[in-house]
Chain A
Amino acid sequence: MAGSTPTVSEYITHHLTNLTFGKLPEGFERADGTIIGDGGAWVMAHGGAEASVMGFNAIHVDSMSWSIGLGIVFCWLFRSVAKKAETGVPSGVVNLVEMVVGFVDNTVKDTFHGQNRLIAPLALTVFVWVLLMNLMDLVPIDLVPKILQLVAGVHFQKIVPSTDPNITLGMALGVFILMLYYSIKVKGFGFVKELTMTPFNHWAFIPVNLFMEVVGLLAKPFSLGLRLFGNLYAGEMIFILIAALFSAGALWMVPAGLLQIAWGIFHLLVIPLQAFIFMVLTIVYLSMAHEDH
């Protein structure tokens, strides 16, 4: 996007590129002709090609800052409401927060049958945080990137953290670590027995059982992260495509606007639903970790 009008595929690729900060190897020639000196350099990437050269030594600055920022918003909002809460009839934002807390509390009581004081706060955090990250999908896609480009000269910006697989799989990895921790803590040696002796309870089937159980265990966090990522990525992709319709001429403006509204309304269903599913599956997986046979 160097001033000239981009084609549709350039526009889409531009919107799907993260703002990446990472280390370029020495001798690499950048887009503006400069060559990286000895020992490499830590810089902001200009485009996908530089980001892929960075490999593992890179961080998506936009995803990290938006997700951590939304996490801070969540903590601040719920803390300020918790300090204001009293026994009278609640109103406004207090009412909303009490509804969310009550809803999550009921879901946890219905789904989780073990004894653990961590699960309900964890479920609340997961639900509200994922919901806030997904809600960024409803912000008009060009608004924030364009403002940042004009004001601060930042070229790439993806404001929906849950369209970044690193964020969703990172959250799923956190759930996976908790699953392993509680499996070992609650079941002890029973966890090893569960991995080796089910579904065929015979010593000759240990390799088969182990393979099946380990695949089943690893598939849980993987599908958890990919489900959230895939839904939001596909939604964002279609928002971008509809936005690209506006470049097709004045005739297309009204249909494109209507499509944008229709897809936005559909997303009002998808966004809380995916946050809810992420939360419920987190509780279910942790509940399974607590079940001792």
Chain B
Amino acid sequence: MPELIYVAAAIMMGLGGLGAAIGVGLLGGKLIEGSARQPELAPKLQVTFFLGAGLVDAIPIIGVGIAMYLIFVVAG
């Protein structure tokens, strides 16, 4: 059933993107809250924010890569 590969790729990208979007949203909100409370800490918080965003970002990007591989090489 090669059609299921497309479904698998869609679930992979969708759920990965959903989770990461919530994560990055929370991170960004807390960054704004934190730098509004203590503006002098903003540059330091920004570095930590980018580190966290990079860690969260990795999973959906990996998911997209594997999904593309499934769609174009395994099914194609």
Q: Which residues of A contact B (CB under 8 A)?
A: 7-9, 12-13, 226-227, 230-231, 233-235, 237-238, 241, 244, 270, 273-274, 276-277, 280
Per CB-CB distance, the 9 closest pairs between chain A and chain B, nearest first, are: A234-B65, A230-B62, A9-B76, A273-B54, A237-B65, A277-B54, A234-B61, A227-B58, A9-B73
Taking CB as reference atom, which chain A residue is nearest B63?
A234
Kindly state whether residue B11 has any CB partner on chain A within 8 Å: no
The answer to the question of B68 belonging to the interface, with a C-beta cut-off of 8 Å to chain A, is yes
With a CB–CB cut-off of 8 A, which chain B residues contact A12? Answer: 69, 72-73
Chain A residues within an 8 Å CB radius of B57: 270
A-B contact pairs, 23 of them (CB 8 A): A7-B76, A8-B72, A9-B73, A9-B76, A12-B69, A12-B73, A227-B55, A230-B61, A231-B61, A234-B62, A234-B64, A234-B68, A237-B65, A237-B68, A238-B64, A241-B68, A270-B57, A273-B50, A273-B54, A274-B58, A276-B50, A276-B54, A277-B55
In the complex, the answer to whether A237 meets B69 with C-beta atoms within 8 Å is yes
Tell me if B51 is interfacial: C-beta within 8 Å of chain A: yes
Interface footprint category on B: 10 to 19
A8 surroundings in chain B (CB, below 8 A): 72, 76
B76 near A276 with CB under 8 A, answer: no
- Residues of chain B within 8 A (CB-CB) of A274 are 54, 58
Chain A, Cβ-Cβ closest to B58: A227
Please tell me if the beta carbons of A280 and B51 are within 8 angstroms of each other in the complex.
Answer: yes
Which chain A positions have C-beta within 8 A of B61? 230-231, 234-235, 270
- Interfacial chain A residues near B54, Cβ < 8 Å: 273-274, 276-277
Whether B73 pairs with A238 at a CB distance below 8 angstroms is no
Given A12-B73, A273-B54, A274-B54, A233–B65 Cβ distance below 8 Å?
yes
Nearest to A227 among chain B residues (CB) is: B58
Most chain B beta carbons < 10 A, residue from A13, A231, A270, A276: A231
- In whole angstroms, what is the CA distance A241 to B69 when docked? 10
Within 8 A of A (CB), among B20-76: 50-51, 54-55, 57-58, 61-62, 64-66, 68-69, 72-73, 76
Q: Which residues of B contact A273 (CB under 8 A)?
A: 50, 54
Question: How far apart sit A235 and B69, CA to CA, in the bound complex (Å)?
Answer: 12
Smallest beta-carbon distance A256→chain B, Å: 15
| CA gap between A61 and B3 in the complex, in Å | 37
